[in-house]
Amino acid sequence: MLIRTGRDGFQHPTASEITPRAVYEDRRRLLKWMATGAAGAALAQWAQREAFAQQVTRPGKLAPLQVVRSTVPGAVTMEKITEYKDATSYNNFYEFGTDKGDPVENAHTLKPSPWTVEIEGLVKKPAKFALEDLVKLAPQEERIYRLRCVEGWSMVIPWVGYSLAKLIEKVEPQGSAKFVEFVSLADRKQMPYVGSRVLDWPYVEGLRMDEAMHPLTLLTFGMYGEVLPNQNGAPVRVVVPWKYGFKSGKSIVKIRFTDQMPKTAWNKAAANEYGFYSNVNPNVDHPRWSQATERRIGEDGLFARKRKTLMFNGYEPQVGQLYAGMDLKKNY
Ligand SMILES: Nc1nc2c(c(=O)[nH]1)N[C@H]1C(S)=C(S)[C@@H](COP(=O)(O)O)O[C@H]1N2
Ligand SMILES: [Mo]
């Protein structure tokens, strides 16, 4: 059962969200577990996360989204949230220009409604979803993720969406499907820089199937409690928190299941600089600069210190296992 709170629309967790389901289903075990003190720790952790999530204020500029708390491990970082004005005015969205300030200025020509997302390729149930239906496929969760751009800056953003895995399960990939490809809109009428020669349009990104199925991989419809602003990839994008930001394609119109590693836009543009995996890794430098540190947007005053970049952007406990045995210097 979900209990609405009045002020901010957040929903408080039920016992099943704070305690492991098995424990909660067995009353005797629950009492034992509580006696160990683990319950207190879980509650304290929950209260702390709650306090941090309360930082999320709705900017009140766009349509609000009803959100529930995410129970996915690692889905809520406790770091200070980047200001909405920074997250929406310092962007990479090359379809609207290559300067950080271009998207906020130019993306008003994007029409995020009506919108459809096509699911095709190696799936048993190919489909065409109207955005309204896609939004309703699963409860919208709030996830507070670090976003680390390959250029050496980072932000902390409260995204709204659900695990991409929920959509993937619905469309039933065939056994032969090994990768998922994400295709962004490429419409010159709406996107002034589509046709420019910086990238081979449309913007394409991709994940291995197990990466796409990982619960942290978010099919994203909003941020800061509201629908996505155009410059952040309205009306639907992907967010993969342990990878460099460019793996998170914006304004997606197609999701294709394949048996071949997708040819991604950045890999085609410069294969020696942007590999398919692009996991955040402080030990593997970009050929032209170090990846060991990052600048947190909003902290860039005169005395702001650079932060150390974390392996897998800090999501190693959750995703490290996906890459066990892989040479991450080769598979950059
Ligand atoms: N379609 C499309 N998606 C894109 C990009 C782009 O140029 N086009 N830029 C990527 C890069 S480099 C980053 S860092 C993130 C930035 O997301 P944000 O502007 O919401 O912070 O979007 C990614 N998704
Ligand atoms: Mo980026």
Q: Return the pLDDT at 41.
A: 73
pLDDT band of residue 144 (cuts 50, 70, 90) is very high
Share of the chain above pLDDT 90, in %: 81
Pick from 84, 91, 93, 221 the residue to mutate for probing ligand 1's pocket: most ligand atoms within 8 Å of its CB. 93
Domain membership of residue 14 (yes or no) is: no
Domain membership of residue 147 (yes or no) is: yes
CA-based max dimension of the chain: 65
Percent helix, strand, coil in the chain, to 5, is 25, 25, 50
**pLDDT tens-digit map of 193-228:** 999 999 999 999 999 999 999 999 999 999 999 999
Share of the chain above pLDDT 70, in %: 87
Domain membership of residue 195 (yes or no) is: yes
Nearest ligand, CA of residue 265? 1
Residue with token string 């959509």: 167
- CA nearest 180: which of 267, 268, 262? 262
Can you say whether residue 80 is alpha, beta or left, with left for phi > 0 and alpha for psi between -120 and 50 degrees? Answer: beta
CA distances to 61, 97, 109, 192 from 189, in Å: 25, 14, 8, 7
User: Which two structure tokens, joined as six digits, stand for 111?
Assistant: 């029409």
Characterize 249-283 residue by residue with b for buried, 16 or more Cβ atoms within 10 angstroms of its Cβ, and e for exposed. bbbbbbbbbbeeebebbbbeeeeeebbbbbbbbbe
Q: Return the pLDDT at 10.
A: 42
Residues 6+ apart with CB under 8 A from 185: 95, 110, 191, 202, 251, 252, 253
CATH number of the domain that 98 lies in? 3.90.420.10
**Nearest residue (CA) to ligand 1, atom 11:** 246
Give the whole-angstrom CA distance, residue 200 versus residue 298: 32
Domain membership of residue 123 (yes or no) is: yes
Domain membership of residue 28 (yes or no) is: no
Nearest ligand, CA of residue 246? 1
Residues 6+ apart with CB under 8 A from 271: none
**pLDDT tens-digit map of 235-269:** 999 999 999 999 999 999 999 999 999 999 999 99
**pLDDT tens-digit map of 298-311:** 997 878 889 999 99
User: Which two structure tokens, joined as six digits, stand for 14?
Assistant: 């039920």
**Nearest residue (CA) to ligand 1, atom 24:** 249
Neighbour-count burial of 303, counting CB atoms closer than 10 A to its CB (0-12 exposed, 13-18 middle, 19+ buried)? exposed
**Closest ligand 1 atom to 244 CA:** 14
132 CA to centre of ligand 1 in angstroms: 23
Query: Are the CB atoms for 126 and 246 separated by under 8 Å?
Result: no
List, chain by chain if needed, residues with CB within 6 Å of any ligand 1 atom. 91-95, 147, 149, 184, 203, 232-233, 245-246, 248-251
* Total number of domains in the chain: 1
Judged against a pLDDT cut of 90, whether residue 39 lies above it is answered with no
Query: Are the CB atoms for 231 and 248 separated by under 8 Å?
Result: no
* 79 three-state secondary structure: coil
247 CA to centre of ligand 2 in angstroms: 8
**Nearest residue (CA) to ligand 1, atom 14:** 245
Query: Are the CB atoms for 171 and 96 separated by under 8 Å?
Result: no
Q: Return the pLDDT at 139.
A: 97
246 CA to centre of ligand 1 in angstroms: 5
Ranges 18-22, 164-168, 180-184: which has the least confidence: 18-22
CA distances to 164, 175, 191, 210, 259 from 167, in Å: 5, 16, 27, 14, 19
Pick from 82, 89, 92, 204 the residue to mutate for probing ligand 1's pocket: most ligand atoms within 8 Å of its CB. 92
Nearest ligand, CA of residue 240? 1
**Nearest residue (CA) to ligand 1, atom 19:** 91
Pick from 246, 251, 296 the residue to mutate for probing ligand 1's pocket: most ligand atoms within 8 Å of its CB. 246
CA distances to 78, 165, 266 from 314, in Å: 12, 21, 23
66 CA to centre of ligand 1 in angstroms: 25
Q: Where are the alpha helices (DSSP H) in the chain?
A: 15-18, 21-25, 27-35, 38-53, 84-87, 102-106, 131-135, 164-171, 209-213, 265-269, 316-319
**Closest ligand 1 atom to 232 CA:** 20
**pLDDT tens-digit map of 14-33:** 444 455 555 555 666 667 76
Which residues constitute the domain of residue 148?
A: 56-323
Query: Are the CB atoms for 47 and 69 separated by under 8 Å?
Result: no
Nearest ligand, CA of residue 102? 1
- CA nearest 234: which of 91, 120, 138? 91
Backbone angles phi, psi at 320, to 5 degrees: -50, -40
